[in-house]
Amino acid sequence: MYDMNALESEGMVYESDALELRDIVYDLNALKIKDTLYGLNALDIGGMVFDLDALEIWRNAAPKKIARHPFVINRTQSLILFPSAIRMEASSVALLLASLLFSAASAVDYTATNNAGGTPGGARFDSEIGLDYSKQVLADASSFCWSIFQQPTEADRRSVQRIALIVESMDGVAYNSNDEIHLSADYVAGYSGDVRTEITGVLYHEVTHSWQWNGRGAANGGLIEGIADFVRLKAGYAPGHWVGPGGGDRWDQGYDVTAQFLDYCEGLMAGFVAQLNAKMRDGYSDDFFQQLLGKTVDQLWTDYKAQYSG
Ligand SMILES: [Zn+2]
């Protein structure tokens, strides 16, 4: 019932990357407890680390199952978290919360420049998207990548000090070169529909290229593009023209096709894409699918297509 990208509490929806506690908004991408940093899927309570992917949230004597990112905020009782195996008194939870320290924001610098101001696309960018909004998207998309990839600390991530967006006249849509994202003003000009939402999705894809591992250059290019679109998909910015689940001819066709296939794999094992990406830090083999899911990637693709046939 909860979108993995949003938290609902007392009628308010929160981004998964932000936790509001006593009127302060914390970045959840790095959770620091007693000097140990954990990913979003782990919670340390009294020295025991629990997987947060399967939790029961106890509220008003009625447990609710929440699939992912299970932080429910109750304004009167602060934060209540219950691993499925245990229940805690609200007072204990309050003590637990008092021991939680959330890290400060990361030191990545996000910049945006419009070099196409004199063109129709540049003007539309300024009026319907804007530099400030774009910089925020770069930051939000980065946090989202760290969450999807389960990279709570800088040591887990690619070393990126700066991500720059440059709007310019060019063919195509966008590309990322050395953490400089080039966005086509001509594409902005010609897009029919909600251009702000479209470009937000494009930026999630391009920002992912800055944070994903590429197997030291050995990874399948279709998989690289598929992971970038998987992040865009999970962020809720899949455009209407994408193929749906089960679409496409090959697992490594790239982009939306591979993204939907990866979403199927993620359904087989939560955190699959994070683990696959982590393996791609030092190299690449199709066998990573076998190692993680017990089936070859070709068998997984056959299973996936069979599920959606007929
Ligand atoms: Zn790409």
pLDDT on residue 274:
98
Q: What's the CA-to-centroid distance between 165 and ligand 1, angstroms? A: 15
d(CA 216, CA 123): 39
Q: Which two tokens stand for residue 99?
A: 């021991």
Q: What's the CA-to-centroid distance between 30 and ligand 1, angstroms? A: 26
Q: Which two tokens stand for residue 144?
A: 């989202």
For ligand 1, a single-atom ion, the residues with CB < 5 A are 225, 228
Q: What's the CA-to-centroid distance between 41 and ligand 1, angstroms? A: 27
Residues of the chain with pLDDT > 70: what percent?
65
Name the burial class of residue 217, with classes exposed (0-12), middle (13-18) and buried (19+) by CB atoms within 10 angstroms of its CB. exposed
Q: What's the CA-to-centroid distance between 173 and ligand 1, angstroms? A: 10
pLDDT, tens digit, 9 for 90 and up, residues 153-193: 999 999 999 999 999 999 999 999 999 999 999 999 999 99
Q: What is the DSSP letter of 212?
A: S
> Across-strand partners of 24?
21
Q: What is the DSSP letter of 244?
A: -
d(CA 174, CA 181): 7
Is 106-211 a domain of CATH 1.10.390.10? yes
pLDDT on residue 43:
52
pLDDT on residue 107:
86
pLDDT, tens digit, 9 for 90 and up, residues 234-284: 999 999 999 999 999 999 999 999 999 999 999 999 999 999 999 999 999
- In this prediction the pTM is 0.68
CB atoms within 10 A of CB 109: 13
CB atoms within 10 A of CB 34: 9
Q: What's the CA-to-centroid distance between 204 and ligand 1, angstroms? A: 10
Closest CA to 243 of 228, 254, 234, 235: 254
d(CA 134, CA 111): 9
Q: What's the CA-to-centroid distance between 127 and ligand 1, angstroms? A: 26
Report for 31-45, 84-98, 104-118, 142-156: range of highest mean pLDDT:
142-156
Q: What's the CA-to-centroid distance between 268 and ligand 1, angstroms? A: 25
Q: What's the CA-to-centroid distance between 221 and ligand 1, angstroms? A: 9
pLDDT on residue 40:
47
Within the chain, all domains assigned CATH 1.10.390.10 are found at 106-211
Question: Which amino acid, residue 53?
Answer: D
